[in-house]
Chains A and B, each alone.
Chain A
Amino acid sequence: RKEVEQDPGPFNVPEGATVAFNCTYSNSASQSFFWYRQDCRKEPKLLMSVYSSGNEDGRFTAQLNRASQYISLLIRDSKLSDSATYLCVVNGGYSTLTFGKGTMLLVSP
């Protein structure tokens, strides 16, 4: 089983749609979880951390299910500017993070 697995997509959605991404991780000892966003040919940027109780930041909601070892990201009211690749990130050890290969989102007018 890969350390962090994501559906590569692309997910094609119209503006205003709600879209959800899931990610599974293999290391049951992982304690830190993040969603990053990467625009084409740009560096990854933190979108949000993921907490055990779930957390929301505007149109974005992240959930963590430790028992099933998966993380989700929900985007409501999608904007054209949300088009990007979304990276699921889990701490792979005490000092390193493991990045998934990403899920591509394309939002169309």
Chain B
Amino acid sequence: NAGVTQTPKFRILKIGQSMTLQCTQDMNHNYMYWYRQDPGMGLKLIYYSVGAGITDKGEVPNGYNVSRSTTEDFPLRLELAAPSQTSVYFCASSGAGLAGEIDTQYFGPGTRLTVL
């Protein structure tokens, strides 16, 4: 059972380039999330999804896009990379509690992105 996997683990981009961060979970979770974490700071929610075909903005969505065509995959797209997007990106997934509310979140190992 792999849990949540993310690729790539590391990436260096030049300003203005684009890339897609991949995230896959094999726990059949409906909820999936993208966070970023800057050095010495807390997690900030970028986008989340409550199921295939449904996405919503988090706290810091500008400069990013997401899609959720399957339950398993939740890619994060960076368009026109900027130095301010240098960060560690974590994908997470969660099942639901008895009333359908969010339960424990499980995180992938992260993607370390540097924009130069």
Residues of A within 8 A of B (CB): 31-32, 34, 41-46, 49, 87, 89, 91, 94-97, 99-102
> B102 touching A95 by the CB < 8 A rule?
yes
Q: Which B residues lie within 8 Å of A96 (CB)?
A: 33, 45, 48, 58, 102
Name which residue of chain B comes closest to A34, CB basis.
B104
Contact B48–A46 (Cβ < 8 Å): no
Main secondary structure of the interface of B (DSSP, over half): strand
Residues of A within 8 A of B41 (CB): 101
**Closest A-B pairs by Cβ, 8 of them:** A101-B42, A43-B107, A99-B43, A95-B50, A46-B104, A44-B107, A94-B101, A43-B110
In the bound complex, CA of A105 to CA of B33 (Å): 27
Specify which of A31, A94, A95 lies most central, judged by the most chain B CB atoms within 10 Å of its CB.
Answer: A95
Counting CB contacts under 8 A, is B61 at the interface?
no
CB pair B90–A43 under 8 Å, yes or no, is yes
Residues of A within 8 A of B110 (CB): 42-43
> Does B26 reach chain A (CB closer than 8 Å)?
no
Among B56, B97, B100, B105, contact of A97 (Cβ-Cβ < 8 Å): B105
Contacts of B102 in A (CB 8 A): 32, 91, 94-97
Q: Which residue of A lies closest to B33 (CB)?
A: A96
In the complex, A51→B90 CA distance in Å? 26
Query: Is B43's CB under 8 angstroms from A32's CB?
Result: no
Distance in Å: Cβ of A34 to nearest Cβ of chain B? 7
B108 in the interface (beta carbon within 8 A) = yes
Contacts of A43 in B (CB 8 A): 90, 107-110
Is B42 a contact of A99 with CB atoms below 8 Å?
A: yes
Q: A100's closest neighbor in chain B, by CB? A: B42
* A43-B109, A44-B43 known; A95+B31 contact, CB < 8 A: yes
Specify the chain B residue showing the minimal Cβ separation from A6.
B42
Q: Please indicate the chain A residues that have their CB under 8 angstroms from the CB of B107 in the complex.
A: 43-45
Listed A/B pairs (10) with beta-carbon separation below 8 Å: A43-B109, A44-B43, A45-B107, A46-B106, A94-B100, A95-B31, A96-B45, A96-B58, A100-B42, A101-B41
